[in-house]
A and B are shown apart, each in its own frame.
Chain A
Amino acid sequence: MAQRIETGAEKRAGTAWLAGWLAWVIPGSGYLFLGRVGRGLLLGVVVYLLYAIGLLLGGHLYGPHNVDEAGLLAYVFGLCDLGSGLLYLGSLWGGIGLVDQASRATAEYGNIFLMVAGLLNYLLALDAFDLGVGRKA
């Protein structure tokens, strides 16, 4: 039976995939996994801050739970929100940020902050993958 030997490039690809997934699930953690502590803390804090400010401003999370209210856009916006990984899933599970507070003047700002937190975290996940695979220094 032939034994498969893992090459350096395969190991690096495995590390990169893990870093990318980790970065999505817990913002900033992908960089920490790669040993880029400063980058992970700075960029992770930015995502957490955007998310927290979004909730404080009265923003709410989109997803399958509010298709009746927002229509198909709930899926599009929900996909943006989903970028925050466990923050989003934990909020859904805990019932945080599910109520539309349209009467608040800053509610729309809050929605945008929440969505951009997710979109930036997608970017960070891709960045962590690139670092892991060696495309970036």
Chain B
Amino acid sequence: MKHLFLMVAFALAVSVVFGVTGREEPRARLFYGLKIFAEFIGIGLALGWLLYWLPL
């Protein structure tokens, strides 16, 4: 659970910075930040499950 929380905290921090610096309009910033946040979480979970099945 701690690992998931850290991933979410990391994604949130990075998406805030990218959202604010990457777009100029407030609405575009919000959507860009949300998009990056969703990508971080989605790809993180997908890779987590992929690694779970790999015999490493």
Q: Footprint of B on A, CB under 8 Å? A: 39, 42-43, 46, 49-50, 53, 57, 106, 109, 112-113, 116, 120, 123-124, 127, 136-137
**B6:A120 contact, CB within 8 angstroms:** no
Closest chain A residue to B17, Cβ basis: A120
Q: How many A-B residue pairs have CB under 8 A?
A: 35
**A120:B14 contact, CB within 8 angstroms:** yes
Q: Footprint of A on B, CB under 8 Å? A: 2-3, 6, 9-10, 13-14, 16-17, 20-21, 24
**B21:A123 contact, CB within 8 angstroms:** yes
A78 to chain B, nearest CB (A): 21
Closest chain A residue to B24, Cβ basis: A137
**B13:A123 contact, CB within 8 angstroms:** no
9 CB-based A-B contacts, threshold 8 Å: A42-B20, A43-B16, A43-B17, A49-B13, A113-B10, A116-B10, A116-B14, A120-B14, A120-B17
Say yes or no: A46-B24 contact (C-beta < 8 A), given A106-B2, A106-B6: no
